[in-house]
């Protein structure tokens, strides 16, 4: 008699927590066509948006967040179980699936209600595609060594600099961007976090054909005197350490 193979999540998740995990399993099995994965691997498609647009209406994105912002208020373990299921589709689609949680964490904890309504809710609903812009050419992912800068000018911040290895650079509607706002200050109190929409003037200079993340639109973006409304500051001025941490 063959023994039934059980996932570790059968043991780790409580009965009421298994619903989300099972929904994601079924989503991966039934809603993502193999052709999408093949087209991403061959470079025909350079975006994870197709997954986002399918997962959002099913309530699978940003599931930890409050229901009023499109989440389900589930715990971390349940969400990780879902992410693991999406992992069988490859790294690019996995990154697309978790990005609403990565970007959304900053918005959920530090954003204003207006920012949550404008960005977090439609992101979790699959209507907006988000990306995080952290890594820079000079210092890699050295958070405190950021050279991208933002200077206050009236009701705007003028953003200049460059970020690379941005997953979703090709197609994201907006970016979570970390920039230096106090060049002379303590490194831990000199960086701010902004929501920067693509149509504010973000330039995409190069899309990398990375071995493990083909089709994810990972690339380099450039800011040249991009005007970012002051209301798009996430958290406090010079307070991005708390946001990132």
What pTM does this model have?
0.91
Token pair belonging to 46: 């350079």
Residue of 55, 93, 54, 51 whose CA lies nearest to 215: 93
Is the pLDDT at 2 greater than 70? The verdict is: no
CATH architecture of 9-128: Orthogonal Bundle (1.10)
Q: At what angle do helices 91-110 and 76-86 cross, to 10 degrees?
A: 150
More confident residue, 186 or 196: 196
d(CA 219, CA 183): 26
CB contact at 8 A, 216 and 92: yes
Residue of 48, 62, 163, 66 whose CA lies nearest to 103: 62
d(CA 11, CA 25): 16
Strands 191-197 and 174-180, by their bridges, are antiparallel
d(CA 59, CA 70): 7
Q: What residue spans define the domains of the chain?
A: 9-128, 131-244
pLDDT of residue 6: 62
Query: What digits encode the pLDDT tens for the residues 121-180?
Result: 999 999 999 999 999 987 666 778 889 999 999 999 999 999 999 999 999 999 999 999
pLDDT of residue 119: 98
Is the pLDDT at 201 greater than 90? The verdict is: yes
- What fold is seen in the domain 131-244? Butyryl-CoA Dehydrogenase, subunit A; domain 2 (2.40.110)
pLDDT of residue 1: 44
């Amino acid at each position: 008699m063959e023994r039934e193979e059980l996932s570790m999540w059968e043991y780790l998740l409580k009965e009421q927590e298994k619903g989300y995990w099972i929904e994601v399993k079924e989503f991966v099995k039934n809603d993502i066509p193999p052709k999408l994965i093949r087209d991403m691997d061959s470079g025909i498609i350079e975006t994870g948006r197709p997954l986002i647009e399918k997962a959002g209406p099913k309530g699978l994105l940003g599931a930890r967040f409050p229901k009023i912002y499109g989440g389900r208020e589930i715990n971390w373990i349940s969400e990780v179980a879902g992410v693991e299921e999406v992992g069988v589709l490859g790294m690019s689609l996995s990154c697309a699936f978790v990005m609403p949680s990565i970007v959304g964490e900053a918005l959920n904890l530090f954003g204003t209600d207006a920012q949550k309504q404008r960005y977090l809710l439609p992101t979790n609903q699959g209507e907006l595609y988000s990306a995080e812009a952290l890594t820079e050419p000079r210092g890699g992912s050295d958070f405190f060594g950021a050279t991208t800068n933002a200077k206050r000018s009236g009701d705007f911040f003028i953003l200049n600099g460059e970020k690379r290895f941005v997953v979703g650079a090709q197609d994201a509607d907006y970016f979570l961007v970390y920039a230096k706002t106090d060049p002379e200050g303590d490194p831990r109190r000199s960086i701010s976090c902004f929501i920067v929409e693509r149509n504010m003037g973000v330039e995409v200079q190069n899309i990398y054909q990375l071995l493990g993340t083909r089709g994810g639109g990972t690339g380099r973006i450039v800011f040249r005197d991009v005007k970012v409304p002051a209301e798009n500051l996430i958290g406090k001025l010079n307070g991005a350490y708390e946001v990132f941490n």
